[in-house]
Amino acid sequence: MDQAPPLARAWYGAGGSASALTRSFANAPDMMETLMPFLGQIMDESSIDLATKELVIMRVSRLNGCRYCLAAHRPVALDAGVPGEQLAAVCDEADLETLPARERAIVAWVDQVTREAGAITDAQLAATLDHIRDDQLVELTVLAGTITMLNHYCTAFDIPPPGSER
């Protein structure tokens, strides 16, 4: 907190604490003023329940190999009600086929968005829309892209995962 720019302090806790990622963003407080509300809108509960969003966050972070996001969001996902077996599946610790049909369709969609968005077919789009509304698919796709951005950021700057800071 001692080194936090005044306008970045709104995103610090009452005791002056903040995640390593937040402290890193504070280097650019102007960007933070736009980014933090954006991330809130994208990642908080909306017309999509938090558990579904956290499932997507964990899946994309797993695909991108982001140590920080996986460590930071595992407890959030559990608190949001993501069952342990679903968490295991999206983290490749169990078979994706064990997921319920809705979650399996969503994961298939974000997998394709993350790995090769240009290869998405009309059939896959239609199959996904069998389980969620089109506006929800828009949100989840933006969420997947946003998480990829954060994954790359955390990996590039080697942001230390929660609990690993010295």
Partner 1 sequence: MTELRNAVTAAIADGRMGDRLWLYATYHCNLACSYCLTESSPQIRDRRALDRRAMVDAAHQARELGLTCVGITGGETFMVPWLPEALAEIGGILPTVALTNATVFTERMLDRLAPLAGADVALQVSLDSDQPRRNDAFRGPESFAKVLDAIPNLLGRGIQVRIATTVEDQTDDELARLCVLHRSLGISDEDHVVRSVVRRGRAATRGMGVELGPSDVLPELTVTADGAFVHPFAPTVRDGRTDLDLLVSRQTRPLEHAMSRFLRIVADLPGGADVVRNIR
Q: Which stretch binds partner 1 (CB under 8 A): 23-31, 36-44, 61-69, 123-131?
A: 23-31
Size of residue set near partner 1 by CB under 8 A: 12
If one asks whether residue 50 binds partner 1 (CB under 8 A), the answer comes out as no
Q: Which is nearer to partner 1, 42 or 153 (CB)?
A: 153
Shortest distance in whole angstroms from residue 40 CB to partner 1: 19
Query: 58 near 77, Cβ under 8 Å?
Result: yes
* Tokens 């999509």 -> residue: 48
If one asks whether residue 88 binds partner 1 (CB under 8 A), the answer comes out as no
If one asks whether residue 15 binds partner 1 (CB under 8 A), the answer comes out as no
Q: Which is nearer to partner 1, 115 or 157 (CB)?
A: 157
Closest CA relative to residue 150, chosen from 65, 86, 87, 78: 65
Query: Per-residue string for binding with partner 1, 26-45, x by CB under 8 A?
Result: xxxxxx--------------
Q: Which is nearer to partner 1, 23 or 53 (CB)?
A: 23
Shortest distance in whole angstroms from residue 159 CB to partner 1: 17
Query: 25 near 32, Cβ under 8 Å?
Result: yes
Q: What is the DSSP string of 109-161?
A: HHHHHHHHGGG--HHHHHHHHTTS-HHHHHHHHHHHHHHHHHHHHHHHTTPPP
* Tokens 């230390």 -> residue: 160
Cβ-proximal residues to 22 (8 Å cutoff; 6+ apart), any chain:
11, 12
If one asks whether residue 5 binds partner 1 (CB under 8 A), the answer comes out as yes
Q: Which residues bind partner 1 (CB under 8 A)?
A: 2-7, 26-31
